[in-house]
């Protein structure tokens, strides 16, 4: 498992994968690579961690997977967001926004002297 997954808030990794897949169907390597790139290197997860996560999303029906032949004639397993997955992403994003706001307010609250 990714050694730095613990640095992510629980559940956020799945959300990131859903977000990545909302940009278009992609294989596992693509997903991990793009998360790294889009986060600007904030998360240094191990790439292999996407596979259990993808499997989890697959079972929940949020993504589907199928084998396709890529441009350089390799067989690759391509993951695709389902309609449910897209709705889920919407819900998670909204939750995340609220949570981020809440956390931010708490953290920025002035520190009072006793």
* 68 binds other proteins per the rule CB under 8 A: no
Residues facing 81 on adjacent strands: 63
CA separation for the pair 111, 109 (Å, rounded): 6
Stretch that binds other proteins, among 14-22, 47-55, 89-97, 105-113 (CB under 8 A): 47-55
**β-pairing verdict for 26-27 and 75-81:** antiparallel
- Work out whether 47 is an interface residue with other proteins (CB under 8 A): yes
22 binds other proteins (CB under 8 A): no
Tokens of 44: 């240094």
Backbone angles phi, psi at 13, to 5 degrees: -60, -45
Q: Where along the sequence are the contacts to other proteins (CB under 8 A)?
A: 1-3, 27-29, 32-33, 46-49, 51-53, 55-56, 58-62, 64, 67, 74-77, 82-85
């Amino acid at each position: 498992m990714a050694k730095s997954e613990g640095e992510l808030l629980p559940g956020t990794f799945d959300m990131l994968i859903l977000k990545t897949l909302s940009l278009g169907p992609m294989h596992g390597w693509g997903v991990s690579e793009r998360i790294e790139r889009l986060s600007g290197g904030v998360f240094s997860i191990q790439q292999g961690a996407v596979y259990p996560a993808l499997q989890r999303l697959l079972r929940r029906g949020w993504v589907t997977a199928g084998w396709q032949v890529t441009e350089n004639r390799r067989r690759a397993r391509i993951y695709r967001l389902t309609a449910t997955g897209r709705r889920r992403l919407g819900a998670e994003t909204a939750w995340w926004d609220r949570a981020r706001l809440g956390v931010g307010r708490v953290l920025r609250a002035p520190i009072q002297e006793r």
